[in-house]
Amino acid sequence: MAAMKIAAHLLAVMLMAVALISSACNYTKPVMYINLSNSSGHAMRNVELMHPTGTFGLPELRSGQTNQHMVPIGAPCKFKVKFEDEAGKMYTTDYDLGTKCPTEIAFTVGEGMTVSERQLRP
């Protein structure tokens, strides 16, 4: 009877050890940071940014604000930035960065609501 209790405890300890080891070796996907800044002097509304693994949006990004979003890295490395100005005019800009995405990228909306792209970390 005592041997059965010891075996049951040993089995429980071994199962917990296996669970702990397997969770510690969990593979995480590489991610990239996408920064979206507004320095246009005007608010942007209905902001939508399409990236290789999906889409995210913001109802508004006021002038002087920056939003950072973390997403899994995907391929091909294509982006689309869409937004409206305060008058409701729609702006759309496409970027194709090839097959390999950087780990951090910044999109800045400047004067005239023009969008520029800058890779911060390869």
For the whole prediction, is pTM greater than 0.85?
no
Helix (H) or strand (E) holding 2: helix 2-24
Is 46:81 a contact under the CB 8 Å cutoff?
no
Comparing CA positions, the residue from 113, 105, 47 lying closest to residue 78 is 105
User: How do the domains of the chain map onto residue ranges?
Assistant: 31-121
Work out the pLDDT band at 16, boundaries 50, 70, 90: confident
Report the CATH fold assignment for 31-121: Immunoglobulin-like (2.60.40)
d(CA 118, CA 84): 22
Angle at 58 between CA 55 and CA 64, to 5 degrees: 125
pLDDT digits (tens, 9 = 90+) for 43-101: 999 999 999 999 999 999 999 999 999 999 999 999 999 999 999 999 999 999 999 99
